[in-house]
Structure 1
């Protein structure tokens, strides 16, 4: 069976960047591209502001506007200043170190899901952690789109919270506000990819379409028991051959991928909902809360409750 190759093409017309197009060859099939915001903020912080270490299941993007600080991602320290674009990878601990003196810092912060079909974008195209934007025109264009996204996101949140306070279903105005945010994010991401594209892998990954189908299935049925035999049968392969193709495509065995996806989804639900931990445990496929708590602590070093509480007191 032919493989699907994912190519990333950035189209430019009259120096204006159009949204990214993700094409699958050799057929006319495509992976659906989606962007969903978690937060979009314009941050002003004093010189002694610090946080962390923290980690998030989603990538976090910063664009430094003013000031100079030191960040740490895992064991690597970086001095960041105006014009630096920082990407905090999902799942890795990072922190902003305190400074005894200095000027306030101002930066733009954004976190969102970026997905290609069943895959997170960073699984296929890992982002560089630090990029210096030396070109003033590119910097201001990216910052302007980012600021517009902040404005639209704040409008959306205000409308959503107004409807929620009334106890009424979300209005058409809320849906339209979210569409405007998503449209602005598409433009922001196109500018981001025009900037980062040269640093991304030259060779796009080859993914067998049966593996894409299996990943889609396991995400749609994550609340159910998912064995190797069940996943292999869904795409009409023997367990051994399916496991071989899966490991070759994604670099890990199916069981590890399922465990990682369940914990990543649990982290997203802990941050984005107020559901009880027991309900989240059921939704991500753990029959017993104690089993879920052990798996979560093993993966993140924190209990589910502590992970949620940590982020409620972190504003980055």
Structure 2
């Protein structure tokens, strides 16, 4: 027999994002549902085990997909579908049925469609966060409607961020978001010992993919941009303050003054001291 939690959302007065039914189930071996069609979007995340999804594609042809733990599948409104738990390794999944004005865009950002209904995550942490939000909703069916809708928004956030990097939309809105996040992180943390890996992690992307979209958008690799940003800040301090070279080195994230001086000369063609002598606005008092 199956173990199951099931709830019906009590309020349909939400327009941007609404919840209809939700639950969790540890299915019996070979347990099946369908063929059937839903009125809204229905997303299953497979916690353990495996199973089979059969669903009509955009042309109305039935396609078969194997879905295992760590993956998920989206069922679309009015789409004929059947899904069957594996006879030996029956799946355990959590599911949400939802709809609203904001849903189509989110699903497109996540790269899901009738021709591509299986969810794959590029980030284990974001995938885990998404699952936790789904389980929270499933386990709190008696919570206030606004509370559950808040967690549904968080679910959509983790869904899009965990899957979207492989499916950027044509308008590049998601790519622009990642670049803004990266630039803000650099601006706020350039003085610390940060790496490209740290910046990519902040955006929820793997390093190689982040490096590609950053260079495509900005025109420089993340390493080049971070170096040039630090050196520009150093030049500003050299020009406008009387801080020592060592203090400026530390202020832009270089604990080793020699490494800083080499990096500065590579960018500006002069040592920090020589550049300051030519450009400083605030002159040190020669009597001191």
TM-score (norm 1): 0.43
Which of the two has higher C-alpha Rg? 2
Taking CA–CA contacts closer than 8 Å with sequence separation of 6 or more, which of the two structures ends up with the larger relative contact order? 1
TM-score (norm 2): 0.47
